[in-house]
Amino acid sequence: MEKKLCDMFYIMKPNQNITIVGAGVVGLSIAYELSKVFDGEINLLEKNEKISDDNQSTRNSGVIHAGIYYDQRIMPKKAAFCVTGNRLLYEFCATYKVAHKRVGKFVVATSPDEIDYLADTLRIARENNVPDVRMVDTGFVKKYEPNINCIAALYCPSSGVIDPVGYLKKLHGLVKQNHAAIYTKSHVIDILPQKQGFKVTVQSGDHLETFDTDIIINCAGLNSDIIATLVNPENPYEIIPMKGEAVKFLRTQNPDLFTSGMNIYPTPHGVYPEKGGKANLLFAEFEKLYLKGLIKKTLGVHLTPLVQKDQTAQVTLSDEISIGPAMSADCGKQSYAHTFDKNYYVQRVRSFFPHISEAHLDFYQTGILAMAKGQPDFVIEKDPNHENFINLIGIDSPGLTSSLAIGKYVCEIVKTIYQ
Ligand SMILES: Cc1cc2nc3c(=O)[nH]c(=O)nc-3n(C[C@H](O)[C@H](O)[C@H](O)COP(=O)(O)OP(=O)(O)OC[C@H]3O[C@@H](n4cnc5c(N)ncnc54)[C@H](O)[C@@H]3O)c2cc1C
């Protein structure tokens, strides 16, 4: 790709180099944005053998979130990046033919206690400028999704689904095309700050290699806390791996299970951060605890269709609908085994999807979220002692949706380093 000298955003540093640790959608989005404007060297280091091997970016729900859950008082970055990222991701998918569909979403309330939670979700959506979200009644829901039960719902047309691996591979191709170098099987095991820049040690099999770099961008997902600590032993952030498991069913196997393929979510509710489990609180009590950081909000176990490309490369909704995620902490960073039984999922969704039973379900996938302990928002900042070291820590959901917006934001941070 040709970089234009007249581009006002162009960063002319031909002798400089930037190293990005981690080639998930976030590292790749940053490399993609930087490769359009930076004329130095960009090196992306990935410990996995293949870009499509296990990480958060290959094992997620594939929902293009609209931005209705992220309260600006608590999660300003998630609020901003999700809404911008949603728009950028649809544009990207349309331009580069990544399988996706703007299926829309219902967030459904099934009991009167949930109405205040739903109203608060609408408030957040409006404050975040999410387009066209509105409260609808049961009749409206039934027109689109006759098998869904509720007493009221939020309708959110800008929510969608994407093939996350297809997106990752497309980013990978573009980054390579723009002459950024991507090294797989390259595990960063040490970083030594120098007078200027850093000495990075990479392990590839039995082979160790050390090289110098001017700027490091830490996008190491579940290991982002370890990478941050290599540079600054005082790094305050810790990653808590959180497993999210899912099952799936065929929407065409039985008329009672048919869905048109919208994202169907329960009303968000509180969970206790330490002991877990649903907090059955009236909204006013929940909000008090939530604003003090004493309770977390969860989106709940939901129905999400899978997208696929057929033989003619047309994007269609698959007949398969996933149900998840069933969340659990203390899972470690590597363990992808299923731990919840099928009845767990039936119990979670039967208030709004009453005809589902264990016999309809197959196990689908598990993924592990990189949550930062005590940090509800994305952490994206320079290390306080090393201004040319940028940390991205706790890039959990909606990181897939936000990735392109994060890429542009980090580009701006890099410019401040070179100013
Ligand atoms: C179950 C689940 C469901 C989700 N659902 C959604 C959703 O529906 N919508 C949404 O928007 N988001 C969703 N997310 C969140 C989204 O997937 C993540 O926010 C996003 O993929 C994060 O991308 P990343 O590049 O930061 O991290 P990752 O994809 O984890 O990539 C980090 C990379 O760093 C590499 N790495 C680590 N350590 C080193 C090292 N020392 N040296 C070199 N490389 C290293 C890893 O191998 C990995 O490839 C979900 C996540 C999960 C787990």
163-196 pLDDT, tens digit each = 999 999 999 999 999 989 999 999 999 999 999 9
What φ, ψ does residue 183 adopt, rounded to 5°?
A: -110, 115
Q: Please tell me the residue having the least CA distance from ligand 1 atom 3.
A: 60
Q: Please tell me the residue having the least CA distance from ligand 1 atom 9.
A: 63
Please answer whether residues 165 and 99 qualify as being in contact, where contact means their C-beta atoms are separated by less than 8 angstroms.
no
Rounded CA separation 234/385 (Å): 10
Quote the tokens at residue 216. Answer: 């490091």
pLDDT band at 13 (very low <50, low <70, confident <90, very high): confident
Does 151 score more than 70 pLDDT?
A: yes
Ligand 1 binding pocket includes 367 (Cβ within 6 Å): yes
Buried b (16+ CB within 10 A) or exposed e, 211-240: eebbbbbbbbbbbbbbbbebbbeebebbbb
Ligand 1 binding pocket includes 47 (Cβ within 6 Å): yes
Mean pLDDT (the chain, rounded): 94
Ligand 1 binding pocket includes 63 (Cβ within 6 Å): yes
101-147 pLDDT, tens digit each = 999 999 999 999 999 999 999 999 999 999 999 999 999 999 999 99
Does 331 score more than 90 pLDDT?
A: no
Q: Please tell me the residue having the least CA distance from ligand 1 atom 19.
A: 399
Beta strands in 140-293 (DSSP E): 152-156, 160-162, 181-183, 187-193, 198-204, 207-213, 215-218, 239-250, 263-266, 269-271, 278-279
Question: Which atom in ligand 1 lies closest to the alpha carbon of residue 82?
Answer: 11
Query: What is the 8-class DSSP label of residue 268?
Result: P
The CATH classification number of 17-418 equals 3.50.50.60
Ligand 1 binding pocket includes 85 (Cβ within 6 Å): no
Q: How far is the CA of 411 from the centre of ligand 1 (A)?
A: 19
Q: Please tell me the residue having the least CA distance from ligand 1 atom 51.
A: 60
Q: Bigger pLDDT: 80 or 276?
A: 80
Q: Which helix (H) or strand (E) holds 302?
A: strand 302-309
Using alpha carbons, select from 22, 88, 43 the residue that is nearest to residue 409.
88
* 3 state DSSP class of 367: strand
pLDDT band at 7 (very low <50, low <70, confident <90, very high): very low
- Tokens 């996008």 sit on residue: 219
Whole-angstrom CA distances from 322 to 92, 348, 350 are: 24, 13, 14
Query: In 10 A of CB 87, how many CB atoms?
Result: 14
Quote the tokens at residue 63. Answer: 């929902």
Question: Which atom in ligand 1 lies closest to the alpha carbon of residue 187?
Answer: 42
Peptide bond into 325 cis (omega under 30): yes
Q: CA triplet 184, 93, 410: central angle to 5 degrees?
A: 55
pLDDT band at 4 (very low <50, low <70, confident <90, very high): very low
Please answer whether residues 240 and 396 qualify as being in contact, where contact means their C-beta atoms are separated by less than 8 angstroms.
no
356-414 pLDDT, tens digit each = 999 999 999 999 999 999 999 999 999 999 999 999 999 999 999 999 999 999 999 99
Does 11 score more than 80 pLDDT?
A: no
Question: What percentage of the chain carries pLDDT values higher than 90?
Answer: 87
> What pairing do the DSSP bridges indicate for beta strands 181-183 and 41-45?
parallel
Mean pLDDT of all residues in 230-244: 96
Range scoring the smallest mean pLDDT among 123-127, 212-216, 279-283: 279-283
Please answer whether residues 340 and 326 qualify as being in contact, where contact means their C-beta atoms are separated by less than 8 angstroms.
yes
Please answer whether residues 86 and 404 qualify as being in contact, where contact means their C-beta atoms are separated by less than 8 angstroms.
no
Rounded CA separation 212/30 (Å): 20
Does 3 score more than 50 pLDDT?
A: no
> What pairing do the DSSP bridges indicate for beta strands 263-266 and 105-109?
parallel
Range scoring the smallest mean pLDDT among 7-16, 345-354, 393-402: 7-16
Quote the tokens at residue 411. Answer: 């580009």
Give the start-to-end residue ranges of the domains of the chain: 17-418
pLDDT band at 274 (very low <50, low <70, confident <90, very high): low
Please answer whether residues 168 and 24 qualify as being in contact, where contact means their C-beta atoms are separated by less than 8 angstroms.
yes
Ligand 1 binding pocket includes 397 (Cβ within 6 Å): yes
